[in-house]
Amino acid sequence: MNVSNLLQFLVVADECRTADEVITQLVKVIRSYKFDYFGVVRQPRPHESPMDLVLCGEWPKGWPETYIGKKYVLIDPTVRYLSHAQKGFRWRESVSAFKTDPHRKRMERMMVESQKFGLFDGYIFPVHGRSGLVGNMTVGGKTVDLSPAEIAMFDAVAKKAFWRILELRKISIGPAVGVIDAKMTRREMEVLSYLADGLTSNEISRILKISNHTVDWYMNGIQDKLEAKNRQHVVAIAFRLGLIN
């Protein structure tokens, strides 16, 4: 085990004078565990671009563009599981948690495609603040087996790296998507659930036996409550809030 490297980072991070120094030390720890890729990111606030959330990281060439282009964030099991997690977990554990999910097959396709980019497995560690989940650190690449003690230490490293980088870059954490007060009616929840399953307004109207205009009226109300830009953004926010799973 390289626990000593993790412990050293917790000490050295406080002595760093710039965010780049913190990142350099963090990369040393990650490389000592043979992880090829990593990312430290903030939770999104309303209307933020995913690329603006990255505090630091290194990913396979082409994977970020593929991930965003194919809208994998809408069904990424690690992102969805992260909203409820209190400690670090393995990527493949999150897939197992959605065995009966209607998006299960697409999740599996995403994981298969990620392996083509060298992302075979990894771990993700949530970072919480007063308002709830505020960010995370993920590490991955080749399969690496961490012990429970190492996972606990990586949790501490993730928190230290996240807050230290924010401090040195003078970035303040504002209200995140996860703290939106979204009080849905029963009918809105029904519409939201069918929307997450990929159904169109016409299909939802037939199931609920209401008009297309009524479905769109509910959709607009949901979008306003979640402060979302469009229907895809509605689904992404709803997953992060735990409104749908």
pLDDT, tens digit (0-9, with 9 covering 90-100), for 25-67: 999 999 999 999 999 999 876 555 556 788 999 999 999 999 9
Query: For the whole model, what pTM was predicted?
Result: 0.71
- The DSSP 8-state label assigned to residue 72 in this structure reads G
- In order along the chain (245 residues), what is the average pLDDT of each group of 10 residues? 86 95 96 96 68 87 91 85 87 87 87 96 91 89 94 95 95 58 74 86 91 90 86 80 63
What pLDDT does residue 104 have?
85
Let me know if domain 3-169 sits in CATH 3.30.450.20.
no
How far out from the chain centre does Cα 169 lie? 22
What pLDDT does residue 13 have?
95
CA distance 162 to 164: 6
Strands across the sheet containing 54-58: 54-58, 37-42, 132-141, 121-129, 89-90
What pLDDT does residue 178 have?
46
Query: What is the architecture, at CATH level 2, of domain 180-241?
Result: Orthogonal Bundle (1.10)
* Ramachandran angles phi, psi of 97, nearest 5°: -75, -10
CA distance 182 to 22: 37
What pLDDT does residue 3 have?
84
Q: Going along 7-153, which residue ranges are E strands?
A: 37-42, 54-58, 89-90, 121-129, 132-141
Residue whose pair of structure tokens reads 């009226």 in the numeric block = 217
Domain limits, the chain: 3-169, 180-241
